[in-house]
Chain A
Amino acid sequence: MRRKLVYVIGIVAVAAAGVVYTLVADNEPLLGLDLQGGASVVLEPTRVATPEELDVAVEIIRNRVDGLGVAEPEISTQGANILVQLPGVDNQQRALDLVGQTAELRFRPVLSAVSEDSLDGADEALLESFALSEGDVAADAEVVLPQYDDDRSIALRYVLGPTAVAGDGLEGAVAQFHSFIGWHVAPTFKPGAEGIDLFNDVSRRCHARGSSCPTGQVAIELDNEVVSAPSVQADNAIFEPFERDSITISGGFSEQRARDVALVLDYGALPVELEAQQSQIVSASLGTDALSAGVLAGIIGLALVSAYLLIYYRLLGLVAIASLGLSGAMLWTIIAWLGESQGLALTLAGVTGLIVAIGVSVDSNVVYFEHLKEDVRSGRTLRSAVDRAFPVAFATILKANFASLIAAAVLYFLTVGQVRGFALYLGLATILDLLATYFFMGPLIGLMSRVSGLYTHPSRFGIPAPPAQQPGAAS
């Protein structure tokens, strides 16, 4: 008796404390991008990557996303893949392109160059020597790379020498505007032998127009294409070394392109090339529609279920509704906390999981109530039936809910994407249902059965009074 009271008061206090905490801390559920609009992409390495490489890639992507100014990005590894979720991001396609870009920057001496037009009808030997390098371009060998024009068709082909400096020689990069050259990227090299010395070394060779750089041009290569190939001016007989921050990369950039290039250079190249396996862009209006539909469906569903429970089980129904409300309050606290501190978003799949959980939670009550009715039918008083039926019913509920938990756990650990979110919230709702049943619903009905005026009137509990004649004997 006393223990029951402690249980009921205890769990109500816990739930209330959770709600107060959520309100005070101003926690709000973080909505997934399918509920508020946004973009997501699953990136898969094109070769087998080590966990360390993936971690580095995640870190770099996170920096890039922060550079874009996305409010609450979620970037994580799932198995061998990287999942990037950008809720509420503007200009979604650009964001996705930027996130997955390898951003492998290389400075190479230009051995020779030819315009695409002049290759028209050229002899085979020439075509052969300007055949574009395929696949993963070797860093320290001669390669042939294209330069594209604004329409993304090839304008020039370059034969390039081995890499002189790579992106890791940079300290940072910014986009700048100059009235003469327009938007361009201004990188800052690392000091000494790690950065600027290497760049000056290749520049000196090009200045000399030696055999390793006969054209005098230094090509700037980003992700296997030439951005631009400026000449090292040979006006002065003596080569003057460049300062760390006096180099600009100009390639007829638009403002956005300049900013994007600067952003990816600033945070360095990904350690492994990534390929988009699945990308999703959800418009903000579609997401909001889905959210309001889900919420409306939940409210209407709950209202109808409550009405049914009240009509069928009367006072017991009221307890069931209170129990549902209690686990709902705890659930809200947890979802809000997960969103605020763990960056875990509630997706549409999660919402549907929760709507389904309404039915399963109500079932815990129904199992118990039907046990009660049956015991009263077989001649027990309500009071003794309450004490007897709860352990039996709870054992059933525990068995059945445990099966749901197994399902949730298997799905959570063995699948990806939406199914995972569903499993998480199904599991969560199931555990809370068990808590609410054991600490709230059961003890509360135990207490109510002792209130005079209630136990003498089982019909107020939606339980028919024990029949006078033998059950089953009625025609």
Chain B
Amino acid sequence: MCLAGGSIVTGRRPGGLRSLYRGEQQIDFPRLWRRALIGSLAAVVVSVASFGIRGVDLGIEFEGGTSWEIPAPGTSVAEARDALGGTGASDAKIQTLGGDTLRVRADIEGPEAVDSVRRALAELAGVTGDEVSVTTVGPSWGAEITAKARNALLAFFALIAVYIAVRLEWKMAVGALVAVVHDIVVSVGFYSVFQFEITPATVIAFLTIMGYSLYDTIVVYDKVREVVGRVSATGRYTYTEMMNLSLNQVLMRSVNTSITSVIPVASMLIIGSFVLGAVTLQEFAVALVVGIVVGTYSSLFVAAAVVARMKEREPAYVEIAERIRLRGASADSEGTRTVAADDAVLGSSAATKRSTAARKPASAARTSTAAAIPPRPRKKKKR
């Protein structure tokens, strides 16, 4: 059940789970970023290619048409097609869902035609017409809600970018948006590759993924800022190294939150698909499980990497990196240096005062720009 964290850690060092629980794990995130970049690129390319070639299976809610659903245990698609022979829905798309629900979709909108299919299906399943659920959507309506959803999405991206830029910093806004777009592309790609139908429930799920991914990313960024505000005073560490420390500190939170978020959704998936055949729940849950896993991954590996890359170009951090390189303290081939324990807690009492007295984001932002203070001479070599 222990998702990403468990497998990474146990693979890297013995007794990993225990050190993870105690928060002592030292995972080299920047090193993993390079692998993650390849993985993410591959996933995005596959998604975009599949979207371009195969497209996605849009439900009638977006294209117009009618959908009928009826509990019909043991009825085959062929039987249903036979029953619909005389109704004008003979070329309809027929599926069985969750084992016992029959779903028929066709490009029919007239009330009489809709009703005749309804009666034919009820007869087939041996139930009354009231047992058939019918959804009819006009073609312009589908276009309208699609346009509305797109506008809402754009407005949301704009607002959230401004929000993160104000509360955190604009480079983080860029990182967060890159991560969200990554998540949405990969999730839609998942739907395209497996040709799952996209319904309004799926759209809601995608929106949730978006919200979840952003939420997760903000938690990670906030940790990064807290650590950077504290550790950068030493002037001894590059942004990437401080980022690595932050990610290690926030890892268990990410893992635990993913687990506690996936559990209810997974129970929705299992119950929805196997036990009761509640179709909407199932459709919703598939997208969510994919999204939560991808969202957790992207905040640690995509959002963090983007910001680290951007921050390392700031003059202050270029200078630090240069100094470290000259001193030969860092060897890239051996992976990322870890922040020494003393430095990690250093200034934490000062941080306490800051955070309790004035928790305004501006004060912390000032601290992080103060990272350019001159380096202190090293007292003694640590690790």
Q: Is the CB of A297 within 8 A of B268?
A: yes
Q: Which of B32-40, B42-50, B130-138, B186-194 contacts A (4 or more CB under 8 A)?
A: B130-138
Known contacts A349-B201, A366-B260, A418-B200, A281 near B132 by CB under 8 Å: yes
Known contacts A280-B134, A285-B131, A366-B253, A294 near B278 by CB under 8 Å: yes
Q: Identify whether the interface residues of B are mostly helix, strand, loop, or mixed.
A: helix
Q: Is the CB of A391 within 8 A of B160?
A: no
Q: Is the CB of A370 within 8 A of B253?
A: yes
A121 CB, min distance to chain B CBs, angstroms: 28
**Which residues does chain B contribute within 8 Å of A400, judged by CB atoms?**
214-216, 218-219, 222
B304 CB, min distance to chain A CBs, angstroms: 15
From A93, A300, A403, contact of B267 by CB (8 A):
A300
Q: Encode A444-473 as 1/0 by CB contact (under 8 A) with B.
A: 000000000000000000001001001111
From A44, A367, A417, A464, contact of B219 by CB (8 A):
A367
Q: Which residue of A lies closest to B338 (CB)?
A: A472
Q: Is the CB of B261 within 8 A of A363?
A: yes
**Which residues does chain B contribute within 8 Å of A300, judged by CB atoms?**
267, 271
Interface size for chain A: under 10, 10 to 19, 20 to 34, or 35 or more residues? 35 or more
Is the CB of B341 closer than 8 A to any CB of chain A? yes
Q: Give residues 247-266 of B contacting A (CB, 8 Å).
A: 249-250, 252-253, 256-257, 259-266
Known contacts A283-B130, A379-B345, A367 near B167 by CB under 8 Å: no
Q: Encode A282-310 as 1/0 by CB contact (under 8 A) with B.
A: 11111001101110111011101100110
Q: Is the CB of B130 within 8 A of A284?
A: yes
Is the CB of B124 closer than 8 A to any CB of chain A? no
Q: Encode B118-161 as 1/0 by CB contact (under 8 A) with A.
A: 10000000000011111111101100110011011001100110
Is the CB of A383 closer than 8 A to any CB of chain B? no
Alpha-carbon gap, A366 to B256, bound state (A): 7
Q: Is the CB of A414 within 8 A of B151?
A: yes
Q: Give residues 380-409 of A contacting B (CB, 8 Å).
A: 388, 391-392, 395-396, 399-404, 406-408
Is the CB of A359 closer than 8 A to any CB of chain B? yes
**Which residues does chain B contribute within 8 Å of A282, judged by CB atoms?**
133
Alpha-carbon gap, A282 to B284, bound state (A): 18
**Which residues does chain B contribute within 8 Å of A392, judged by CB atoms?**
226, 355, 359
Identify which of A281, A284, A360 gathers the most chain B CB atoms within 10 Å of its CB.
Answer: A281
Alpha-carbon gap, A426 to B156, bound state (A): 15
Q: Is the CB of A278 within 8 A of B156?
A: no
From A279, A294, A309, A411, contact of B152 by CB (8 A):
A411
Is the CB of A237 closer than 8 A to any CB of chain B? no
A48 CB, min distance to chain B CBs, angstroms: 14
Known contacts A277-B141, A294-B281, A415-B148, A304 near B24 by CB under 8 Å: no
Q: Is the CB of B137 within 8 A of A363?
A: no
Is the CB of A352 closer than 8 A to any CB of chain B? yes
B108 CB, min distance to chain A CBs, angstroms: 13
Q: Give residues 89-137 of B contacting A (CB, 8 Å).
A: 101, 111-112, 115, 118, 130-137
Q: Which residue of A lies closest to B129 (CB)?
A: A93
Q: Which residue of B lies closest to A291 (CB)?
A: B278
Alpha-carbon gap, A416 to B143, bound state (A): 12
Q: Is the CB of A293 within 8 A of B271?
A: yes
B25 CB, min distance to chain A CBs, angstroms: 9
Alpha-carbon gap, A301 to B266, bound state (A): 8
Is the CB of A254 closer than 8 A to any CB of chain B? no
Is the CB of A171 closer than 8 A to any CB of chain B? no
Which 5 A-B residue pairings sit nearest by Cβ, starting from the closest?
A: A359-B261, A301-B264, A293-B278, A277-B141, A414-B152
15 pairs, CB–CB < 8 Å, chain A vs chain B: A34-B280, A283-B130, A286-B69, A304-B263, A352-B284, A370-B252, A377-B23, A377-B24, A403-B160, A403-B164, A406-B156, A406-B160, A414-B148, A419-B152, A422-B204
